[in-house]
Structure 1
Amino acid sequence: MYTQLLKEAVLEIEDDDAKSIKDLVEYCRLQNDIDDDDEIKKVQREYRDHTPIWWYTAPYFMYSMLNRGLRQMDVDIILKMGFFIRHLHQHIADLHREQQNSKAAMPSKFQVFRGQGLSMEAFEKMKKTKGGLMSFNNFLSTSRNRDVSFKNFARPAAFDADSVGILFIMNIDTAICTASSTPFVNVKDIGFFDDKEEEILFSTHTIFRIDRIERIEDKHTDRLWQVNLTLAGNQDDDFNKLTAHLRKELDYVGTGWSRLGQILIKLGEPAKAEHLYQLLLEEATSDGYKAQYNLELGTVYKDIGEYSKAITFYERAIDIYKKMNPPNHPDLASSYNNIGLVYYKMGEYPKALSSYERSLEIKKIALPPNHPDLALSYNNIGLVYDNMGEYSKALSYYEKAQEIFQKSLPSNHPHIAHVKKNIENVKKKM
């Protein structure tokens, strides 16, 4: 479900469209899987002459490249096609609002169908999540015509050696769906082709609930299945609670691209996050962004245990922040704290102590006296003294942290329990 937040991060990015189109064209010319340079030239010349849905449904590289990038979370493709993702999503959302007012274009309740192949591994995983939520991590083409989806896509996929054929039957209730949460659109008279498939197009990362999974009887194969889904609108409690929890867990800051990198880390894709931040750093023009992406790269390397690299990038961020800001700016405090954490993980406690103390000095100037970030610094310094065997000093800092936490946080906050445990443990050592 982190992919829902990934979608939000991409959609909030505002890049220069003219530059983005130019960058996409240059990127495409370097790709081996786009043979027709005329298609690339057409995008360059005519992008603004057609709607995003027209481009998406046209028989050009835009469709296949975009959905491959979204499915595989290919950082290069998402970075180069971010402008098109936003344009296409916004076009779907705008038309969704219009069509909801027209019963002919969009009835209040209806079914759509999608046929496709799934690997055996993916299908077994889906069966275990019956009753739960699933996300289609691409723009989703469906049909009002069951035969189109079944005969052209689901049934042929059942005869592929490593897959099962799936017919998704999706129940849609427009009363619980809004253009801001789950936009979809009838592409009749909008797309490139005549609408023989009666296509309904959903925006990327649409969430459904898995209702039922059952075999479709067929005398030629036993690998044909029907999966009934219900569109999870903005009134689905589980979806709303889970999304809110993940937002709180991430507690991310920065631009949409920075958030995207942080989500990739949460998804267990640190290499993709590293690649993204390296690309962003190469393209950064302002000192603020350069500092931010150095900081993010430091965190990526810290998380994967490459501590020397982490320190290098954190120090680069500090050097930039020193040029940009006064000596006691909060950005410097967080950077020193990050370096302290890396040295702590390396067991280099004197260096960790020095960095933590510098961070604390800045926080004391920049923050009110009972701010919880001060308590975090006191606790970190306590941990260093604890590991150095200086238990009396460790206890003193733990107690300072506890005092501030108790004044600034609710009584059930995990920070309070954590520092209490630290106090109990260090007292046993004294």
Structure 2
Amino acid sequence: LYIMHVWKAAGKAISRGAEQTIDSMGSGDLVKIIAFALLLPVVVGLVVSWWMAATDVTAATVEQYYAALPDFHAGWYLFGIFVGALVCTAVTVVLLKRRLAHANPVSEVSELRENWQESVHPKEIFINLDNLVMANRRYREVPNRVYRELDPNLQEHVDGKGAFSGEMIQEIQPQVKPMGLGGLFDKSRLVSLLLGNSLFIIGVVFTFFLAYATVDVVKLLDSMNYRLTEETPYSDLMTLAGVVMTAVHFYLIGYVLRAFAGLAANIAHLFYAEIQFESMLIYFKCEGTFTESKISTGTGIHDSTRSENTLVRSSITPWVIVSRIVSTTFAATGMKNLEHPRHILEMHKSDDEMASIRKDVIDFLKDRESIASITSNRDLGNASQIHQLNEQTRAIPTDQDRLQQSQSKTSDEEAAGYLRQQEELGSDNDSDTDKNR
């Protein structure tokens, strides 16, 4: 009976929840079976001995009643359990062998660690990475799965200096990856499914037999007025025992059939439900410092327009990890058929994707404009008019203007000479006065 219970428990459906530990199997159940096989007969024997001593029943009487009872046929049940266990184990071994041969448990990543010195605001790096670099890698326009949202932290210090940091984890939408385990795998899986469903049908038939046998037991007890006394004929007791034992056999046969039906069906469901996916997992972490400075253009003598900009110089230290992962999940029926946890089985390098991400980021940094310019046609027209006005004010002088400038220059030179003469005469008079004194 306990062996029947063990195989019934082994056929439970798989759990699609995310488990933190691995259940131990094998040794514990074996120890319990051996312990029950050794201890249970001893305990039963002690209980029967105590009952015989308490009721003054002799062993011969017990053997007489036991011999009169219908045979339990325990050997046939053990043989049926052995056959069912052998078939289910053989199918499971074939499926597991093919599945394990397909597994490739590796853990590799592509890594990038560099230092960039660029004239760009730190926040624009994160905006470009999130809205352009990662968005361009979507699968069929489906947004990427964000496991850690990019939330940059900028710490501004004094004198236009500061530090920044931020990190994110995103996964490009998974794509179904065909497994292709071969024809033997598919046939074994189908055999397990058909065997389980067939045993379920046979178990249902024995359940109907159990229902009819139960009706026979009830009718027999009704004919005895539901009373068993010492005056009850021995033949009636044996008839009742035979009918009850038939119902018990129907129940036990159905129990064993349902146990191995559930085991075979769940084995097939386990391998049918597995769906593998392939996706790209990207981890980005960036730290660095930045300083602000001002840059001005158009500050010449004759310039009429001027552009003054605040230039941010950033020292960027990125750490990027890219891995092409292979994950698996076990589908179910109903509304949450593909909403169960996925388990990562493999992690492979993706140098091409890493180089592509680096190129996109570098191209954005190199293509940045640090100096503001005029892009509107109206602004260009206004600046052109101002330039023409400046040219008019700095026009080339005519001959008359040159003559006037020459005369003015001559008069200025004569006045300067007269002033120098007066200064020399004044200095001579002062020296004569000093001598007379």
Q: What TM-score bracket applies, with the shorter chain setting the length?
A: under 0.3
Normalised to the residue count of structure 2, the TM-score between the two structures is 0.19
Which protein is richer in strand relative to its size?
2
Instruction: Tell me: higher relative CO, structure 1 or 2? Use CA pairs within 8 A at least 6 residues apart.
Output: 2
Which protein is richer in helix relative to its size?
1
Normalised to the residue count of structure 1, the TM-score between the two structures is 0.19
